[in-house]
C-alpha cells in the first residue's frame, strides 16, 4: 500500500530568478561538493523509488508541464533546478499529490511509487502523503507547542506509538534540533528562529516515518548559517530517506545533490503560455561540469535564467 506526511497549508510558488542574464555573461560554474557524486559511489542509473513516465500536468486547460520522464533514486538527493516558471515546484507537488488540492489540476502520464501508479483508482492521497512528506518554502509550524507540532501527525493519522515522548525526541534528534529545544518542548513553536522552525518542520515530517522527503526551496527564507545547517541535515537524512529538492540556488544543488534535473520553459506559439519541460537529468557532477545540452550550459553559466 502507498502510504506520506500530514502538512500545513501549501507554500507560495517560487518567484525569484536564479540569475540576471542582463548582467552576467558567463558566471563561474558552481563547485560540486562532496555530495555531488565526488566522494561516494553512485550507480549510473538510480534505484527507483518514484518514477515519472511521460508526465503532463495541467491547471484547467493550461499545460504547465510537458512530457517529463524522471527517476528518483533510493537514498539519493535529487535536485530540480531551472528558471522561474519552468514547472519544478509543480512537478514536486505532483509527487505526493499536493496538486490535488488545486481546483482544475490534473496529471496525465504515470507517476509511480515502487511501481504502483500513484494516481490509480483506489489510491488514497492521504496515504500517499504519509509516505512521501513535504517541507515547504517558508517554515510553517503549527500554532502549537514544539512537542505538539511533532506529535500532531502521528496522532491524527492514528499511528501506533509505544511512547510519544520517545518519538518526539527521535524526530527532533534526526532534525538536529533536540539539544536546542529539549528544555522548552511545551513552549510555542513560534518562539524559534526561522532556521529552527524549518528544522522543526522537517522533524514534523520525519515523525510519521515517511520514506521520501520533498523540499520546495527549504532554505530560500533562511540566512546563510541556517542554510548550511539544513544542508548538513540533508546529508545526514539521506542515509534513511530519499530526498527531492527544488532550489533556485545552483550552488546549493552542486553542494548537496547526487543527481540534478534541469528544467526550462518554452513559450507556446500564439498564446505565449510557458510550459515547463525537462531538458537534462544526470549525475550532479556531470550536469555542472559537462552538460549534454547547450541550454543547461547556458543556465549554469549564467547566460540566462
What DSSP line would sit under 226-279, residue for residue? HHHHHHHHHHHHTTT-EEEEE-S-HHHHHHH-SEEEEEEEEEPTTT--EEEEEE
Q: How far apart are CA 178 and CA 199, in angstroms?
A: 10
Q: In sequence order, which residues have a C-beta less than 8 Å from that of residue 154 and are 6 or more positions away?
A: 161, 164, 167, 207, 208
Nearest 10 degrees: Cα torsion 132, 136, 142, 146 = 80
Phi first, then psi: what are they for 225, rounded to 5°?
Answer: -70, -45
Name the packing angle between helices 146-156 and 164-174 (round to 10°). 110
Q: In a 10 Å sphere around its CB, with 0-12 CB exposed, 13-18 middle and 19+ buried, how is residue 59 labelled?
A: middle
Q: How far apart are CA 304 and CA 86, in angstroms?
A: 13
What per-residue confidence (pLDDT) applies to 15? Answer: 34
Structure-block grid coordinates of residue 61:
486547460
261 neighbors 80 (Cβ within 8 angstroms):
yes
118 neighbors 2 (Cβ within 8 angstroms):
yes
The residues spanned by each domain of the chain are: 34-142+214-300
Q: How far apart are CA 13 and CA 128, in angstroms?
A: 22
Residue 166: how many CB atoms within 10 A of its CB?
Answer: 10
What per-residue confidence (pLDDT) applies to 267? Answer: 81
CATH number of 34-142+214-300: 3.40.50.300
Q: How far apart are CA 76 and CA 40, in angstroms?
A: 11
Q: How far apart are CA 265 and CA 277, in angstroms?
A: 6
What per-residue confidence (pLDDT) applies to 305? Answer: 52
Report the Cα–Cα distance between both ends of the chain, in Å, rounded. 40
Task: Write down the pTM of the prediction.
Answer: 0.85
Please identify every stretch of the chain with a pLDDT value under 70, giving residue numbers as ranges: 1-40, 269-270, 304-305
Amino acid at each position: 500500500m502507498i502510504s506520506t506526511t500530514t502538512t500545513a497549508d501549501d507554500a507560495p510558488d517560487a518567484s525569484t530568478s536564479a540569475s540576471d542574464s542582463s548582467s552576467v555573461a558567463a558566471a563561474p560554474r558552481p563547485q560540486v561538493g562532496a555530495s555531488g557524486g565526488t566522494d561516494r559511489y553512485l550507480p549510473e542509473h538510480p534505484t527507483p523509488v518514484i518514477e515519472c513516465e511521460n508526465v503532463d500536468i495541467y491547471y484547467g486547460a493550461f499545460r504547465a508541464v510537458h512530457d517529463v520522464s524522471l527517476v528518483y533514486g533510493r537514498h539519493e538527493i535529487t535536485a530540480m533546478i531551472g528558471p522561474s516558471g519552468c514547472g519544478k515546484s509543480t512537478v514536486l507537488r505532483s509527487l505526493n499529490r499536493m496538486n490535488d488540492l488545486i481546483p482544475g489540476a490534473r496529471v496525465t502520464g504515470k507517476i509511480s511509487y515502487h511501481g504502483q501508479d500513484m494516481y490509480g483508482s483506489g489510491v488514497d492521497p492521504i496515504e500517499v502523503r504519509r509516505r512521501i512528506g513535504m517541507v515547504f518554502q517558508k517554515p510553517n509550524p503549527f500554532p502549537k507547542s514544539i512537542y505538539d507540532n511533532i506529535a500532531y501527525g502521528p496522532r491524527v493519522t492514528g499511528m501506533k506509538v509505544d511512547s510519544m515522548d520517545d518519538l518526539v525526541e527521535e524526530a527532533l534528534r534526526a532534525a538536529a534540533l533536540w539539544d536546542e529545544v529539549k528544555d522548552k518542548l511545551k513552549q510555542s513553536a513560534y518562539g524559534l528562529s526561522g532556521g529552527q522552525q524549518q528544522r522543526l518542520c522537517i522533524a514534523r515530517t520525519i515523525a510519521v516515518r515517511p520514506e521520501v522527503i520533498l523540499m520546495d526551496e527549504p532554505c530560500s527564507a533562511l540566512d546563510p548559517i541556517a542554510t548550511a545547517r539544513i544542508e548538513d541535515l540533508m546529508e545526514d537524512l539521506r542515509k534513511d530517506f530519499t530526498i527531492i529538492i527544488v532550489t533556485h540556488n545552483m550552488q546549493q544543488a552542486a553542494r548537496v545533490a547526487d543527481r540534478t534535473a534541469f528544467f526550462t520553459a518554452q513559450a507556446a506559439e500564439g498564446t505565449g503560455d510557458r510550459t515547463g519541460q525537462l531538458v537534462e537529468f544526470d549525475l550532479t557532477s556531470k550536469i555542472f561540469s559537462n552538460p549534454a545540452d547547450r541550454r543547461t550550459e547556458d543556465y549554469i553559466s549564467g547566460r540566462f535564467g
